Amino acid sequence: MRTRLDIAYLGTAFEGWQVQIREGSGPVRTVQGEIEGALELVYGRPVRIHGAGRTDAGVHASGQVAHFDLAEEAPAIPPAGLRAALNGKLPAAIRITAASEVPQSFHARRSAVSKTYLYRYRRGAFLPPHEGLVESLVREGLDVPAMSRAAASLVGRRDFGPFSVLGSDVETTVRTLFRLDVEEFGPRLLITAVGDGFLRGMVRRLAGTLRDVGRGRTSPESVLSSPGPSAEAKGLTLATVAYPEPFPPGGAGAAG
């Protein structure tokens, strides 16, 4: 049996999504590790989950997706019951928003057709205590129309290698960016990136490059050849992962 989990988390306290071992100190605290630990408590056996994307340390998610398989002899738990059981064992910074049974052909990463990331900038003198948890502060004024022109020039299918972290283990650095929007909501500046996939660190580099354009440090015409520095992790959120039919969004046990 294959089960899909829809997951939201505040990444501040975690060293990213993926389970990892730090030399000399053992396992570090990750989102995947916390969920696998909760699943082991629920089912009484180790359970490995597979996520749609490996968010880095400090990055958040409102629409991460993962799946796991269980042997036939595992106890049958209805989706809503599974969601409640896991949330009762997870830290408050991680919540299972839905659980559902899916076909064996569903794969959280390989079946995905697009992902949407949001990067939030807050313009002003300080970050508010609540929204500021998922925002990055910019004290300088920003030329938003110039940022929008630069964003439009980045949309399309191309080699985004210059926007990735060095040493990324991927077969190709070619990706399709369907949308890259810059929108103003009062003091908040929202960057929406939608693509068929993203390289490690790519969205943070895109956000940092657009910020440099807004500051006048980089021209909109030069962003493809001269990417700026990466924006900090706390402003980035994995918002949604989209799948084709027969894998509709959400699932049984979703919160109302």
Q: Please tell me whether the overall predicted TM-score, pTM, comes out greater than 0.75 for this model.
A: yes
More reliable by pLDDT, 229 or 166 = 229
For 104-138, the pLDDT digits (tens) are 999 999 999 999 999 999 999 999 999 999 999 99
Please check the confidence at residue 220 and state whether its pLDDT lies above 80: yes
pLDDT score recorded for residue 22: 74
- Which of 56, 169, 181, 196 is catalytic? The answer is 56
Provide the token pair at 222. 């030069």
Q: CA nearest 231: which of 120, 78, 73, 133?
A: 120
Region of poorest pLDDT, from 26-35, 52-61, 137-146, 230-239: 26-35
For 145, the enclosing helix (H) or strand (E) is helix 144-154
Per the annotation, the verdict on 56 as an active-site residue is: yes
Q: Is there a contact between 98 and 7 (Cβ–Cβ < 8 Å)?
A: no
CA proximity to 12, closest of 32, 37, 29? 29
The pLDDT assigned to 119 comes to 98
Instruction: State the pLDDT at residue 196.
Output: 96
Give residue 52's pLDDT: 97
pLDDT at 167 over 60: no
pLDDT at 25: 67
pLDDT band at 210 (very low <50, low <70, confident <90, very high): very high
Q: How confident is the model at residue 256 (pLDDT cuts 50, 70, 90)?
A: very low
Task: Please name each of the domains of the chain with its CATH number.
Answer: 2-110 (3.30.70.580), 114-240 (3.30.70.660)
What is the Cα 147 distance to its own chain's centre? 22
CA angle at 54 for the pair 48 and 55, rounded to the nearest 5°:
130
Mean pLDDT over 74-92 rounds to 94
Sequence-separated (6 or more) residues with CB below 8 Å from residue 152? 180
Q: What pLDDT is attached to residue 166? A: 67
